[in-house]
C-alpha cells in the first residue's frame, strides 16, 4: 500500500550512503569524519532494518 514511499526512502538512503563513503574517502579518514560515518551507518542500518518488511512485500 504505502510501498512506493518506502522504496523511495531506501533509494534516498542508498544515495546518501554513497555520498558518505565518498566524503569519508576525500577527508582522508579524519577522526571526525570516521565518527560521522559510523553514526550515519548506525542510523542507516536502523532505518533499513525498519523498512525491511516493506521490501519483501
Structural domain boundaries of the chain?
A: 3-56
pLDDT class for 56, splitting at 50, 70, 90?
low
Residue 57 has pLDDT above 60, yes or no: no
Whether the predicted pLDDT of 1 surpasses 70: no
Reported as type and span, the H/E element at residue 27 is none
The angle, 0 to 180 degrees and rounded to 10, between the axes of the packed helices 3-26 and 31-56 is: 160
The predicted structure's pLDDT at residue 3: 64
Residue 47's nearest CA partner among 5, 6, 1, 19 is 6
- Taking only the tens place, the pLDDT of each residue in 5-40 is 777 888 888 898 898 888 888 888 788 888 888 888
pLDDT value at position 2? 56
Residues 44 and 47: their CA atoms lie apart, in Å, by 5
Amino acid at each position: 500500500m504505502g510501498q512506493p514511499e518506502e522504496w523511495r526512502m531506501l533509494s534516498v538512503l542508498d544515495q546518501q550512503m554513497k555520498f558518505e563513503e565518498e566524503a569519508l574517502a576525500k577527508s582522508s579518514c579524519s577522526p571526525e569524519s570516521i565518527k560521522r560515518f559510523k553514526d550515519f551507518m548506525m542510523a542507516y542500518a536502523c532505518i533499513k532494518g525498519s523498512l525491511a518488511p516493506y521490501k519483501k512485500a
